[in-house]
Amino acid sequence: MSVSGTTFASQDSGAKTMKTTPPFHPKISPSVEAETMAPDPVAADVVVSKTSAHTAAGDLGLTEPDKGQACGWSRFRPACLQCCNNANGVLFFLCMFSFTQGVIVNGLVNVSITSIETRFELPSSNTGIVSASYDIAFVVLALFVTFHAGQGNSKPKWLAFGSFSLGLGALIYSLPHFSTGPYVYGTGQTETCDVGGNSTSQDCSSGDTAGSGLRNYLYVFILGQLLHGVGGTPLYTLGTTFLDENVERSNSWVYIGLFFAASALGPAAGYLIGGQFLNIYTDIDIGRNGSELTEADPRWVGAWWIGFLMCTLLAWSITIPLLGYPKELPGAAEIKANKESEAHAKGGVDVASQPDFGKSWRDFPMAIKILLCNPTFMFVSLAGAFEGFLTSGLATFGPKFVEMQFSQTSGWAAMLCGFVVVPGAAGGNILGGVIMKFFKLKCRGMLRLCIILGGVCLALYLVFLVQCPNIPFAGVTQRYTNGSMDPLVSGLNLSSQCNTDCYCQEEFYTPTCGADGMQYFSPCHAGCTVLTDTDGTKRYDNCTCIWYDSVASLAETLEGKCDSTCGTMPLFLAVFFVIMLLTFANNPLATGATLRVVPDNQRSFALGVQNIVGRLVGVIPGPIITGAILDSACLLWGESCGQTGACLVYDNQHMGYGFLALMLSAKALATILYVMAYVSYKPPPSVGMVKTMTQTTLTRMDSTAEIAVVST
């Protein structure tokens, strides 16, 4: 009501009341009194809701949890379990859950891919589908799980269901080992040059016949990964919000940082455990040890399945305690009442804060619309998607980049990346949480720090300009030394006058470092006719393709890649560690911003939508596009039965420039989106500001009423 309207109303009623009211104590008219009691609907709603929340928290009896908030199963709720009925207990079991998920999905699955391809004769395109099945399940289920949990359902029960599904998926993933017979490997390739002999190659007809049944196990692996995705869906959506709901805002990001750190340590343990099991022959359970083969033999298959059985038991052991937690921990109502909303001012708070909103599936379209129309939420989600694009691509192909760029073995390259990525990821998550607590960052501060960290990473990505020259490769990067008259066709010709009569196979890549410092496809391609095996070290002599000058005559031709003389790998790994540290420090910051810019009862649902956006835009296409960049740098492709296999040799310079362009583009987009989120964010008025505005309005209206009565 306007001031002039108030004045007229006071004048109208003042003539009637002046006869019975003392002159110095005028009675305020009903209209003025009504406006005084509710001067501002928005302010009134804030004050009333805050008061009612405090009242509800005070009625809970926080000194001792009631029966509905006690920890236990059904009627069995012993007092000895209540020591775990707090945020610390929840954090412990959620960390165990996220650790187990990381071991299985990001550790064991990745480590076992090569062994599964060899054992079940699957091409890499099929195992790529297996890897993507996890994210497909997440995308399909995330909206359902997060919205349904927001309808008042128990988050711990959903988390327990996720842990059980994760264990079931690991069990199913290991079943193909037990439902197939012993592993049968074919005869090996001809290692040395057999002058005048017959060419022996792979028996493709028998391989196809034998492999047709084994390849059907692809669908079993896909089913296992789908169940892994079902288990991971509630973990990173409901688990995060359940932690945030039950700890004070000043401490919540330390808890969430530890939660993410545990998930980052999982892959490290998965690589370590899985790598150790791969040194054991796959059929050890039936008494075979594969003594005819060595771990370096391309036909070797390790015991990939043992780790999945162990994780099945671990995941199911977490299910039981998660089932015992109540829907809400003791003291959660008081914590919630003391938290000040930082939701985006135009983010649908007025609709989403209604008591009955989200209790029915009829609210689902409106819930989606509220999030999609929240610009800050969408910008943060898209920025996180491009961050996921980077991390998924680097996690998948980082070891291969180190292996090819710096001429390392695949096992050592994987360990080096593990030593760099895992501490960087875990430390980054903890660092982000500690910074948020130390500086007591609010939403704007979180977004501002995301922008700063993104700008620093953009400069650090220039480390991909640190490259090593290609190792000389006979017939690939340069001509054969002892066959200089042989023309190179399109830069590739593994055959030369020096090995024409050797009948060398090209199905099996056996890198051999010649005494002349040049790398050869195999000892046969080097023209070597004499093999000496001493304590597992293979040496070759009488190699017709090697030019023995004064230097080469003092060296030996050995199996394996030639050592690189490039010394830039320590610098690359050191800078790469800093990149991982700063990149993963954005995790708790971006998650904190997300939980702050949406209404409280939409936080789980918002994380579900955000994870879907992240997977569709970033995590799923990230490895695919990064792999395409690597393929474009390939110099030598492997072949088997007329079909192109994996790339064997890369152009280091092309690879480095491709990675640099991809990383800079994605990181720049993520940083720009964080800037747009910062600009678009409109914080709501704080509770203190609302109270001040309310008191000012009441004072102003009292003065107006007195003036109106006196003038009358």
pLDDT band at 696 (very low <50, low <70, confident <90, very high): low
Q: How far apart are CA 526 and CA 547, in angstroms?
A: 10
Q: How far apart are CA 23 and CA 21, in angstroms?
A: 6
Q: What are the backbone dihedrals phi and psi of residue 393, each rounded to the nearest 5 degrees, phi first?
A: -65, -45
CA 678 from centre of chain: 24
pLDDT in tens, 189-229: 557 787 765 545 555 554 443 444 677 888 999 999 999 99
Give 508's DSSP letter. S
Annotate 264-282 with three-state secondary structure: HHHHHHHHHHHHHHCCCEC
Q: What number is the average pLDDT over the span 562-579?
A: 89
Q: How far apart are CA 409 and CA 400, in angstroms?
A: 9
Q: How far apart are CA 120 and CA 235, in angstroms?
A: 31
- Model pLDDT, residue 32: 38
Q: How far apart are CA 238 and CA 160, in angstroms?
A: 11
Indicate whether 363 pLDDT > 60.
yes
Cβ atoms within 10 Å, residue 661: 13
Q: Copy the structure tokens of residue 645.
A: 């296999």
Cβ atoms within 10 Å, residue 259: 26
Cβ atoms within 10 Å, residue 644: 11
Q: How far apart are CA 396 and CA 389, in angstroms?
A: 11
Compute the chain's Rg from CA coordinates: 33
Cβ atoms within 10 Å, residue 295: 12
Q: What number is the average pLDDT over the span 16-33?
A: 42
- Model pLDDT, residue 243: 80
pLDDT in tens, 146-175: 666 655 567 888 899 999 999 999 999 999
Q: What are the backbone dihedrals phi and psi of residue 71, each rounded to the nearest 5 degrees, phi first?
A: -90, 130
Amino acid, single-letter form, for residue 435: I
Query: Is residue 231 within 8 Å of residue 315, measured between CB atoms?
Result: yes
Helix (H) or strand (E) holding 7: helix 3-17
Share of the chain above pLDDT 90, in %: 18
CB pairs under 8 A, 24+ apart, for 8-17?
10/705, 10/708, 10/709, 10/712, 11/708, 11/711, 11/712, 14/708, 14/709, 14/712, 15/712
Cβ neighbours of residue 691 closer than 8 Å, sequence gap 6 or more: 47
Q: Could you give all domains of the chain from N- to C-terminal order, each with its CATH number?
A: 3-52+698-711 (no CATH), 87-187+214-340 (1.20.1250.20), 355-466+569-681 (1.20.1250.20), 472-563 (no CATH)
Q: How far apart are CA 323 and CA 314, in angstroms?
A: 15
Go through the chain and tell me how many residues it has.
Answer: 712
Indicate whether 46 pLDDT > 50.
no
- Model pLDDT, residue 52: 39
pLDDT band at 28 (very low <50, low <70, confident <90, very high): very low
User: 3-state DSSP call for residue 637?
Assistant: strand
Of 599, 29, 82, the residue nearest 357 (C-alpha): 599
- Model pLDDT, residue 242: 81
Least confident among 55-64, 98-107, 271-280, 661-670: 55-64
Q: What is the mean pLDDT of the chain?
A: 75
Q: How far apart are CA 547 and CA 532, in angstroms?
A: 20
Query: Is residue 253 within 8 Å of residue 90, measured between CB atoms?
Result: no
> Which of 156-170, 178-192, 393-407, 560-574 ranks highest by mean pLDDT?
156-170
Share of the chain above pLDDT 70, in %: 70
Give 540's DSSP letter. E
Q: How far apart are CA 196 and CA 321, in angstroms?
A: 70
Q: What number is the average pLDDT over the span 500-510?
A: 76
pLDDT band at 2 (very low <50, low <70, confident <90, very high): very low
Q: Residue 74: is it exposed, middle or buried by C-beta count within 10 angstroms (0-12/13-18/19+)? A: exposed
> Which of 142-146, 169-173, 247-251, 681-685 ranks highest by mean pLDDT?
169-173
Cβ atoms within 10 Å, residue 293: 15
pLDDT band at 640 (very low <50, low <70, confident <90, very high): low
Q: How far apart are CA 541 and CA 360, in angstroms?
A: 78
Give 86's DSSP letter. S
> Which of 260-274, 288-302, 410-424, 482-496 ranks highest by mean pLDDT?
260-274
Of 400, 128, 436, 139, the residue nearest 260 (C-alpha): 436
Q: Copy the structure tokens of residue 393.
A: 């691509």
